Amino acid sequence: MSIFLISVPPQFSHPDQMSHSHVMKPIGAFARLKCRASGRPRPRIVWFKDGVMLMGGVPGHLGKWVLKLSDLQSRDSGRYTCRVHNQAGSINFTYTVEVVGRVSQPVIADPHPLNTTVVSGQMALFQCRVQSDVEPTVQWLKRVDNQEDMKQKNATITVNGQQFLVLKTGKVLARKGDVYLNKLTIYDAQQSDSGMYVCVGANSMGHSVRSAFLTVLPDPRQLDSRIRAAERNSFLENSSLPLIVGVPVAVIVVVVIATVYMVWRRQKQSPKQKTTVRPPAPAVRRSPLPPPMTPQQAYPKQYEHSYSAVPTQQYHVAPAPSREHIINNYSDMHSAVSGPNTHTPSACNGMYQSYPYNSHYCR
């Protein structure tokens, strides 16, 4: 049984480390040229200087992914090419090494970096121009002003007792002459990004430093919304104050009313308490009393029996006697009494009525 392996041509593993193809170094310095690659089967690497394969006795090592050049001299200047190959293919990359005899300390050219002011959410840009005989190393730092920045403590360094954040630095661009440019871009800048930024340019002979300040202003739209939010919160706090005071007062009033009501109800239900306050009774409309009853109406049966034996008679109503007639007959009426409760016809002048029980009444 045979196994077939798929061949993969070589490719560089870290092309970002090969971005600077022009290497300028002073006499006596050292250089590292990288050409790390991968493939299937495992590729081989061969180094060339000015088209000639490097063998023993040269300041390099054949078959290594990194070519180290130490104690450089003017004769080491030239074009160094790495050739990586396997049975599937080959790739190569060339460095230009320049060894200079006069190297001075780098200088950051005026006027950059400049103090910058942006509005929150905008982009902030710093530039740093370094003048150097050889390609310098440029690094940006930010001074730590508050504890929030200390969350990135692993990316800080201490310089003269102050802590600085090490920021990610872009590619160094070569300009005319011995000037190299590097830019620091801060996208969507926030107020927490405000502070002091430092550009450091260095080479083998030393370094140079220059700083600038970034000021991030709040967005007017966000500021208006914050002001409105603060006013709304202030209004809610002020309006909630009466509520905070009123609720306990209302609870106390309710408790007092409930207590008074319970005491009043207990006193009302207690039989020993005589001083109960009662509401006034409603006025009763009394009906008029019936007229008094006659004896006949009160005792109808008795009067039916009493009057049943009295015959019905015809009465003659005589005219009423005059005053003189009454006075003249007064003596005759009292002298002619024959018995108790009996009057003669002469006494009444012939006007009398007989009733039962032997009683006579004058008419």
What does the domain layout of the chain look like in residue ranges?
8-100, 107-217, 316-363
Q: Which residue has the tokens 């609870």?
A: 251
Q: pTM for the whole thing?
A: 0.46
Read off the pLDDT band of 134 (50, 70, 90): confident
Read off the pLDDT band of 271 (50, 70, 90): low
- Considering only 25-29, 83-87, 287-291, 300-304, which range has the smallest mean pLDDT? 300-304
Q: How much is the average pLDDT of 138-147? A: 87
Which of 200, 206, 220 lies closest to 141, judged by CA? Answer: 200
Task: Determine contact, residues 136/203, Cβ cutoff 8 Å.
Answer: yes
pLDDT of residue 298: 62
Q: What fold, for 107-217?
A: Immunoglobulin-like (2.60.40)
Read off the pLDDT band of 90 (50, 70, 90): very high
pLDDT of residue 239: 64
Whole-angstrom distance, CA of residue 124 vs CA of residue 312: 144
Strand partners, 38: 11
Which DSSP category does 19 fall into? -
What are 141-150's contacts with CB under 8 Å, separation 24+? 141/165, 141/166, 141/167, 141/197, 141/198, 141/200, 142/167, 142/195, 142/196, 142/197, 142/198, 143/195, 143/196, 143/197, 143/198, 145/195, 145/196, 148/192
Residues 6+ apart with CB under 8 A from 265: none
Task: Determine contact, residues 358/352, Cβ cutoff 8 Å.
Answer: no
Which CATH code for domain 8-100? 2.60.40.10
Mean pLDDT rounded to a whole number for the chain: 75
**Per-residue pLDDT tens for 276-327?**
556 666 665 665 666 666 666 666 655 555 544 445 445 444 555 566 655 5
Q: Do domains 8-100 and 107-217 have the same CATH topology?
A: yes
pLDDT of residue 63: 53
- Considering only 247-251, 254-258, 308-312, which range has the smallest mean pLDDT? 308-312
